[in-house]
Structure 1
Amino acid sequence: MRRFRWWWGALVLACVAVLVGFFVFFGTESRNGQPHPRPGPPGRGPLTVVAMGDSTVSGEGAGDYSADTDGRNGDWCHRSANAFVQKVRIPGIAARVNLACSGAPAAQVALGDTKQWGERSQAAQLADLVKDHRVSVVVIAVGANDDPKFSAQVSQCFKAWFSADGPSCNVALQSTWKSKVDAMVPKVANAVGDVKKVLARAGYVPADYQLVLQSYATPVGPGIPPELQSLDGCPFRSDDLQWISTAGISALSAGVKQAAAQSGARFLDLSRAGEHHEACSGGANPTAEWFTRLTLHLDDLSQADRAPHALQESFHPNAAGHAAIADCLSDFLTRGDGNATCLAGPDGKLHAVGEPAG
């Protein structure tokens, strides 16, 4: 009897050893032979959505900036509590982190030594973040501050309005804009690639998170009342407004889409997101506008360190604009695959309209 028990116990141990070996070599699989899905992003901490990029992400123009990014120690990143990342609705998300910085070029989003307003690489900041956060979504918007220098071009158009005898700003831009955008594309693709590299080093695989590269919305458009084509609102010539809102923004968006394809990110097109809600489009009633008009903080002019930033908020999405973008982004992230364009629906809100298959 004792010999039988010994034999039976040895058999059980042998079977356990075989099962352990099976799981070591083949991993945990379901009964139909398919791998069990990963439980989500690796690591520890709250499930998190992260925003990276420049002013259109940080919340420039939306007000309510964190004290440490509103000029303290020379930091003008202007991260707003009203930025879209704080308003996006994603099931299961417990934390929202904004690493974006106003004026940031692609090189400051990427790994490296490039700083913006004294802040180090956003990708390096992400590497620190994943130590105690489980990143489920990364949304990036960057590139306009590289070769296109979109803000500088808007300033040139502003100067053209003052010089009635000179050419419109779009005359020169028509011959150089495409080449500027083309030069931007690899820089944006490299920045997105570095974000993926950071997550891969932390043990992430592509299925663990959504990676989104979004383009830019048009801050101004045609049809502005003549009385607001002035220092009281939007001082631009009519033909420049037409070019910015059509050829200019379309080419920029196409370049960002190309960078998304090269880097393996999903693309969200915001080029038409502001239609009928551009700065000055509301005439005497600006409440329906999603972008700031020409904005001058007079109090800042009396302070040497703040005076150079007194106009910084001009022609950026305001708090209402960020809320509208958050509606579209929420739609897009819920969809979970493919590219899309932010368009207004019958309810007046922005929705993510997917691209046709093929």
Structure 2
Amino acid sequence: MLRLRPILVAALLTVTSAVTVAATPASASLPTAAVALGDSFVSGEGAGAYQPVADINGVAQGFPGWSAANSNPFFCHRSANASIQQASLPGIAARFNLACSGGQPYDMAGASASRTNGRNVKSQLDQLRAVAQTHDIDLVLIGLGSNNSSFTFGDVASECANRFISDAWTGWWEFWAYLNGPINQNPCTANDLATPAEVTAATAETANAVRQVLTTLAQIDPDGQHRVVFQDYTNPLPTDVLASLISEDGREDNRDKFRDLGAERYAAGCPIHRASMPPGHVFSTNLGNLVRSVHATMSAEFPGRDLVYLNVQQAFNGARLCEVSASPASALATPVRVMDGPSGVHLTSLSGKDKLDIKRYADTCITYFQTCQESWHPNAAGHAVLGQCLAAAATTANRTVSCIRSNGVITIS
């Protein structure tokens, strides 16, 4: 057997040690960081002030124009007003928003660009590893689960809004009216949004992705000192509209064609059947249960890790769209808004529009999804509220935190 001389062994150990230190610098010598991972509810969709996003080759992509492909990284819509940016986080030196609007569990370990309708960005874990080279990660916000292989929030929202708009402006027999054929004009049911089986599958898919996140964090954070906050979702709509939005010109939304009422609800930000709203809350409750379940599973699998579940389902109480008379101006969520072609001008009124106009607007949303993708997301004020919730979750001694808005005041329990 070949034996190495002592001096050579010592030299090899010295080189190996130097390489190890260079590859994984001591976290104590690095500035601290908070990082956001996940989908639109943490990326800042709806909050404006969107920042350039690096593509899969590392090239920063700014606004590419309204007619660009929706796969462009900019449409991740990472906002300077996102909750991760607005939260008071003492001791945190830098903040990194790696979330992407439309993000799915797949996107944690897989490049979003490699799946259908994904954006041209690296996996969020690859982006997280890059952050760990220059910063000590102390806080990670995860917002994940509303988009998955079974359903996506964008599809759910557009389904219910399109049913209402179609019902308001076109007869059920007018098959020509929309780009992809006739649209169901009945209110959405809970199963239309997500069946129990789909929620179960989405929970498992999300858990697997979060497991990969926690495993990666253990590998890249040398001191092992980081808190992971699992944030769920808040519904942008109440369980019913204001009394003033129930009928217009003697017509309610339970009959065929009610254009004045359709225009009125669109202006207020909530073009949706009243009968669709309770199922919508079943959907958001299911998303909350999904996140709670993933948190519980990870807490059992990774004992001793600093994992906190943040429940924000009641964080917008009293300030949802069509819940107050000044909606949408006083709401904490963005109204549904469309464009007439990729013009850059959102329509705030559909009053006086005919069904050909409506068809054109709907087709624009389908062809250029970025023209309407901000709809029904937290706005900048909403993200400020979510930032308060995150700040509390970052310092609490509890493993579960509820952030509730009551009479305009945010309380944490």
TM range (shorter): 0.7 to 0.9
Per the alignment, residue 344 of structure 1 pairs with 405
Aligned partners of 2:309, 2:264: CA distance in 1, in Å?
33
* Residue identity in the other structure for 1:351: T
Matching residue of 1:239? 275
Partner of 1:119: 121
Please state how far the C-alpha of 1:345 moved relative to its aligned partner: 5.0
Q: 1:178 corresponds to which letter in structure 2? A: P
Structure 1 distance, partners of 2:280, 2:112, is: 29
Question: Within 5 A, what are the aligned runs for 1:1-358?
Answer: 42=27, 44-68=29-53, 71-72=63-64, 74-75=72-73, 76-109=75-108, 111-115=109-113, 116-146=118-148, 147-164=150-167, 166-170=185-189, 172-173=191-192, 176-204=194-222, 206=224, 208-225=225-242, 226=245, 230-232=265-267, 233-245=269-281, 247-264=282-299, 265-297=307-339, 300-301=342-343, 307-344=368-405, 348-353=408-413
- Distance of aligned partners of 1:155 and 1:101 in 2 relative to their CA distance in 1, 3 Å threshold: same
CA distance in 2, matches of 1:119, 1:159: 30
Secondary structure at 2:164 match in 1 = helix
- The answer to whether the 8 A contact 2:318-2:406 is kept is no
One-letter amino acid of the structure 2 residue matched with residue 263 of structure 1? M
Q: Contact 1:58 / 1:99 at 8 angstroms: preserved in 2?
A: yes
The structural deviation recorded for 1:285 is 4.9
Matched AA of 1:154: A
Structure 1 pair 128–152 and aligned structure 2 pair: CA distance change class (3 A): same
The verdict on how the C-alpha distance between 1:169 and 1:285 changes in structure 2, with shifts beyond 3 A counting, is closer
CA distance in 1: counterparts of 2:192 and 2:400, whole angstroms? 29
Whole-angstrom CA distance in 2 between matches of 1:83 and 1:334? 19
In 1, the alpha carbon distance for the partners of 2:159 and 2:188 equals 6
Aligned length: 308
Cα distance between partner residues in 1 of 2:223 and 2:321: 41
Segments of structure 2 that go 5 or more residues without pairing to the other structure are: 1-25, 54-60, 173-184, 246-260, 300-306, 346-363
Question: In structure 2, do the counterparts of structure 1 residues 350 and 197 end up closer, same or farther at CA, with 3 Å as the change threshold?
Answer: same
- 2:162 alignment partner AA: K
Q: Distance in 2 between matches of 1:186 and 1:160?
A: 30
Q: Equivalents in 1 of 2:264, 2:90: separation in Å?
A: 43
Separation (CA, whole Å) in 2 of partners of 1:230 and 1:112: 40
3-state secondary structure, aligned to 2:266: coil
Alignment CA distance shift 1:169-1:331 (3 Å): same
Residue aligning to 2:258: none
Give the greater-gyration-radius structure (CA): 1
- Give, in whole Å, the separation in 1 of the partners of 2:128 and 2:338: 33
**1:259-304 deviation per Cα after TM superposition (whole angstroms, max 9, x unaligned):** 1111233211112222211123233353431000012355833799
* Deviation per residue, 1:83-128 (Å, 9 max, x gap): 000011122111111000010111102x234434101110111011
Shift of 1:191: 1.7
Amino acid at match of 1:183: A
Contact 2:48 2:81 in 1 (8 A): yes
Q: Secondary structure of 1:184's partner?
A: helix
Distance 1:137 1:240, change over 3 A: same
Q: Is the 8 A contact 1:86 1:96 kept in 2?
A: yes
Tell me the C-alpha RMSD between the 2 structures. 2.6
Separation of aligned partners in 2, 1:311 and 1:267:
30
Change (3 A) 1:293 1:260: same
- The 8 Å contact of residues 137 and 221 in structure 2, kept in 1 or not, is answered as no
- Say whether the 8 Å CA contact 1:329–1:352 is kept in structure 2: no
> CA 1:169 to 1:299, structure 2 compared with 1: closer, same or farther past 3 Å?
closer
Which letter does structure 2 place at the counterpart of 1:255?
L
Which stretch of structure 1 is more off in the superposition, 65-74 or 264-273? 65-74
**Per-residue Cα deviation, 1:154-211 (whole angstroms, up to 9, x for no partner):** 211112213546432116437x5222111111221122122222221125465x0101
Structure with more relative contact order (C-alpha pairs < 8 Å, separation 6 or more): 2
Match of residue 20 from structure 1: none
Gaps of 5+ in 1: 1-40, 354-358
> For the Cα contact (< 8 Å) 1:229–1:237, is it kept in 2?
no
1-structure distance, mates of 2:314, 2:344? 38
Q: State the distance in 2 between where 1:64 and 1:197 align.
A: 33
